Structure 1
Amino acid sequence: MTLEARIARSHGMDDEAWARHANPWSVWTRVPILPLLALAAWSRDWIGWWAVVPVVLLLAWTWINPRFFPPPASLDSWESRAVLGERLWLARGEVPVPARHRVLPARLNALSAAGGLLLLYGLGWLVPWAALTGLLVALLAKLWFLDRMTWLVADMRDDPRLLAWQAAGTRIPPAG
């Protein structure tokens, strides 16, 4: 099992949570979480320990979000395909992904993690350039990763898991 799959499992991401997370509203309401967490952490300089309140609320939303929205009526959207691709990517230890998808997603995850470390440094020592640069690198690498996941879905269209998700009542878009 991959590290990412272990993390997803530790967050309780079962089939139902993944189906709900494929809703575009779920994806786009998760995007601002990292910038808002960064702002909340930075705000400790202004509001002291009260900064813990928005951090706790945002961490709670991070867990609730994939379960909050209903499953989408179809999987036509970029966001839905990105979530499906992420599920395929997480399971690459059991079912390999095509060769052209093995390197860049891993590098993008590493780049996102590096951005996260720079962000943590910037937030820890209140260094604006480090916080902003780290935030941008982490966020843009994650969005690029999600875009790559849509390509993975297109290349794995006949994968039995995708067909099973389709049979569960959610339509998968045609290739191309």
Structure 2
Amino acid sequence: MSMDNATWRRHANPWSGWSRVATLPALALAIWSRVWLGWWALVPVVLVLLWTWLNPRLFPEPRNLDNWMSRGVMGERIWLARKREPIPAHHARMATLLNGLSALAMLPFAWGLWQLEIWPTVFGMTVSMLAKLWFVDRMVALRRLEEQGG
């Protein structure tokens, strides 16, 4: 997403992080809307994708980072920089596992959207979102570890 330091600080605003949680359900609804809108469904799909890009850039920097979502976002920065600054192996394993689970859950999600089947769509979306939120929680732990100097 080509986020610079200023964009990451803005994305650490809890409004940015929490509003972004709605992205996958919004994308599912936008894709599903092809049933009602036909090719016009591309409009809401493009709007959701635009929102995904704009979201970290729209909100002001938070006053502080003393909340779960802000710590999670800043922990994700630590995760993304792990090749330059190694992180503890158990954090790396768990983050990789959760990212893999989230990605794997996209298979029933995508299939359900393709076939217009509600249960695989909801199952895939739920598992993916829960794995992502668990990942964010692990990033909070990683951020706390950094704050403690470890």
TM-score above 0.5, yes or no: yes
Q: Deviations over 1:126-146 (max 9, x none)?
A: 122111111101111101100
In structure 1, distance between residues paired with 2:143 and 2:18: 19
Unaligned runs of 5+ in 2: none
Structure 1 counterpart of 2:143, from 140, 144, 153: 153
TM-score by length of 1: 0.82
Shift of 1:29: 0.9
Q: Which residue number corresponds to residue 45 of structure 1?
A: 35
Shift of 1:158: 5.0
Q: Which residue number corresponds to residue 72 of structure 2?
A: 82
Question: Identity over aligned residues, as a percent?
Answer: 54
Q: Determine if contact 1:20/1:72 at 8 Å carries over to the other structure.
A: yes
TM-score by length of 2: 0.95
Q: Which residue number corresponds to residue 104 of structure 1?
A: 94
Q: Determine if contact 1:98/1:155 at 8 Å carries over to the other structure.
A: no
In structure 1, distance between residues paired with 2:126 and 2:104: 11
Q: Which residue number corresponds to residue 6 of structure 2?
A: 16
In structure 2, distance between residues paired with 1:100 and 1:155: 12
Q: Determine if contact 1:19/1:71 at 8 Å carries over to the other structure.
A: yes
The answer to whether residue 88 in structure 2 is matched with residue 127 in structure 1 is no
Shift of 1:100: 2.4
Unaligned runs of 5+ in 1: 1-10, 160-176
Shift of 1:115: 1.1
In structure 1, distance between residues paired with 2:13 and 2:107: 29
Structure 2 counterpart of 1:58, from 28, 38, 48: 48
Q: Which residue number corresponds to residue 25 of structure 1?
A: 15
Number of residue pairs the alignment of both structures matches: 150
Letter in 1 for 2:9: A
Find runs of 4+ consecutive structure 1 residues off by over 3 angstroms. Answer: none
Matches within 5 A, 1:64-75: 64-75=54-65
Q: Which residue number corresponds to residue 114 of structure 1?
A: 104
Any idea what SS the aligned residue of 1:96 has?
Answer: coil
Any idea what SS the aligned residue of 1:103 has?
Answer: helix
Q: Determine if contact 1:89/1:97 at 8 Å carries over to the other structure.
A: yes
